[in-house]
Amino acid sequence: MQVTLQIDELSALLESAGPEFVSDSLNQLLSWSRPLQVPENTPEEMLSRFFQSSAATAFYTAYADGLMPIAGEYWLRADPVHLQAGMSRVFLAACGAPDLPTEDRQQLQESLNQHFAEDGLAFFLPNNQRWYIRLAEGHACVPTDGTAGLFPSPRVLLGKDISVATTATDKFWQQCFTELQMLLFSEPCNKQRESQGHTAITGLWLWAGGSVAALPVPQVNLCSWGKSSLLQGLCLRSESTWQEAIKIGNEGEHLIHWSTEHTGSSEEQLQLLEQQVFTPLCTAIKQGTVVQLRVADAGCWEIRQRRRWPWQKPQNAWAMLVKNEQI
C-alpha cells in the first residue's frame, strides 16, 4: 500500500503547541524517515502537483462548492476579510464571515454583480468562507500567463501589513481591490453588522486565481481523505474517490490531506492527527506500507520500516520540524 500524507502547517501546529506536546507516533514515523529533495511549493501547488495539474486553486475549490467552472475560464478567490487601518499601514485582521446570514450574502452578491457588470466580473458567494470572481475566457484583464493568483494566500499575511502584497499587481486589480472596500463600506448589511457588534467585511482578498486548459489526469484507483475543498475539487475532476472522514485502508493508493480548513486549537488538531493518522500509519508501515510525508512548512520524507540501532535515539518531532535539529 502506498500512502501520501500532506499536512499544510505541521511545523506551525507543533510550534504553537510547544515542546511539552509529545506525539509518540509522529516521533516514530520521523525515526523511520529519509528526507526527499522536492521543490519548495505552497500547499496549494504541492497538492495540485500530485494530480499533475496547474495550481488553479480557485477553479477547483469552486467545483467543490458546486459552481461547475468550465475549462478555459479564469476563476479568482475573493474571500471576505476584515482589514484594519493603522497610522500608515493596513493589516489583515480576520478572514471569513462565519456569522453572515444567507440573505445578507445573497444581497452582497447582487450588489457586487451589479456594480462590476460593465467590467465583465461575475461574483459568486456560495458560503461564508470562499467567494469567487469569474472572468470569461479571453477577458482582457486575465493575467497573461493564465495562472497568476494575484495576492498571496491570506493565511500567510493574517495579522500583518498587506501594503506590499496588494500593490504588486496591475492597475485594474488594484483599482478593483479599492472599489470593493468602498462598496462594502456603504452596504446596509455591513453597517447593520457593525451596529450589532459583529466584525464587518471591509474587503475581499483576491488570490488563488487561475484557469485550467486541461483537466487533471484521471486517477480512478486513488482514494483521498481529508477536510479540504481543494482536494475535493481535484478528486471530482480526476474521477478519484474522496471522503472527508479519514480512514486508512489496507491496500491500494491513498492520499490524506490535513489542510488549514481544520478547526480547533493546535493541541486539539495534533491529538486528532495522532489518533486518526499517525498511529494507524505506524501500524500500516509495520505491515509493509510506504508513506511519503509532505509538510508544506517543513519538508518532505519517505517513511518505511527501518532498523534502528541500539545507540540511535528516536527523533523528536518538535526539535526536528520546529528547530530543524536532527537527532
**pLDDT tens string 55-89:** 789 999 999 999 999 988 999 999 999 999 877 88
Round to whole Å and give the CA distance between 106 and 126: 9
Sheet containing 241-243: order of strands: 33-35, 299-303, 290-295, 2-7, 253-258, 222-225, 241-243
- Helix orientation angle between 57-64 and 43-50, rounded to the nearest 10 degrees: 70
The tally of domains found in the chain comes to: 2
pLDDT of residue 141: 86
Closest listed residue to residue 230, CA positions, set 91, 78, 97, 53:
53
What confidence category does residue 313 fall into, taking pLDDT thresholds of 50, 70 and 90? Answer: low
Paired strand residues for 294: 6, 300
Instruction: Indicate the residue among 211, 232, 266 that finishes a domain.
Output: 211
Do residue 12 and residue 140 come from a single domain? no
Do residue 29 and residue 82 come from a single domain? no
Do residue 67 and residue 203 come from a single domain? yes
Residue 187 placed within a domain: yes
- What three-state secondary structure class fits 280? helix
What confidence category does residue 310 fall into, taking pLDDT thresholds of 50, 70 and 90? Answer: low
Residue 245 placed within a domain: yes
Round to whole Å and give the CA distance between 304 and 311: 20
Q: Contact 270/248 with Cβ under 8 angstroms? A: no
Query: The C-alpha cell of 283 is what?
Result: 501500524
Do residue 187 and residue 264 come from a single domain? no
Residue 162 placed within a domain: yes
Do residue 64 and residue 206 come from a single domain? yes
Q: Quick one: which H or E segment has residue 134?
A: strand 132-135
Residue 185 placed within a domain: yes
Do residue 128 and residue 186 come from a single domain? yes
Domain of residue 126, residue span? 59-211
Q: Quick one: which H or E segment has residue 28?
A: helix 24-31
Do residue 83 and residue 13 come from a single domain? no
pLDDT of residue 147: 44
Which residue has cell 481544520?
262
Residue 195 placed within a domain: yes
What confidence category does residue 43 fall into, taking pLDDT thresholds of 50, 70 and 90? Answer: very high
Torsion of CA 154, 84, 173, 178, to 10 degrees: 160
What confidence category does residue 256 fall into, taking pLDDT thresholds of 50, 70 and 90? Answer: very high
Round to whole Å and give the CA distance between 150 and 165: 9
Do residue 74 and residue 198 come from a single domain? yes
Residue 120 placed within a domain: yes
**Pairing of the two strands 253-258 and 241-243:** unpaired
Do residue 73 and residue 98 come from a single domain? yes
pTM of the model: 0.90
- What three-state secondary structure class fits 128? coil
From the number of C-beta atoms within 10 Å of its C-beta (0-12, 13-18, 19+), residue 67 rates as: middle
Do residue 49 and residue 158 come from a single domain? no
Instruction: Indicate the residue among 156, 180, 211 that finishes a domain.
Output: 211
Share of the chain above pLDDT 70, in %: 95
Instruction: Indicate the residue among 183, 211, 239 that finishes a domain.
Output: 211
Residue 230 placed within a domain: yes
- Ramachandran angles phi, psi of 30, nearest 5°: -70, -30
Q: State the first-to-last Cα distance of the chain, in angstroms, to the nearest integer.
A: 29
Share of the chain above pLDDT 90, in %: 64
Do residue 65 and residue 205 come from a single domain? yes
pLDDT in tens, 276-304: 999 999 999 999 999 999 999 999 999 99
What is the CA angle 127-112-147, rounded to 5?
A: 70
Do residue 65 and residue 138 come from a single domain? yes
Residue 327 placed within a domain: no
